[in-house]
Amino acid sequence: MVKRDGSRERFEEKKIAKVVTAAGLTEEKGRALAQKVAGEIYELGQDAIPTKKVREYVTRELKKADPYAFGLYVWYERTKDHDGKA
């Protein structure tokens, strides 16, 4: 993945599961959502996918899975962006 500052980081499915679980999904649903997002990312066949794109996938799937968790996730992402952290 390519972070906002241009640095690269290996894609880790477990990070998605962790953040969506923190937003309110059960561990089982969090793992399932992370697997779905990871599958979509791997289908792209790109080594350098921007983290922004990963967040778009997570946001879309989380909105379908749990509106409340979606709201918390969006709020958290906005506070990160506001603070200038990536």
Task: Note the pLDDT of residue 6.
Answer: 87
Which of the pair, 34 or 82, is modelled with greater confidence?
34
When the pLDDT of each residue in the chain is averaged and rounded to a whole number, the result is: 90
Ordered DSSP codes for 2-28: B-TTS-B----HHHHHHHHHHHT--HH
User: Would you say how long the chain is, in residues?
Assistant: 86
pLDDT at 32 exceeding the cut of 70 = yes
Domain ranges of the chain: 13-83
pLDDT at 86 exceeding the cut of 50 = no
> Do 16 and 48 form a contact (C-beta atoms < 8 A)?
no
* Confidence band, pLDDT 50/70/90 cuts, at residue 72: very high
0.85 exceeded by pTM: no
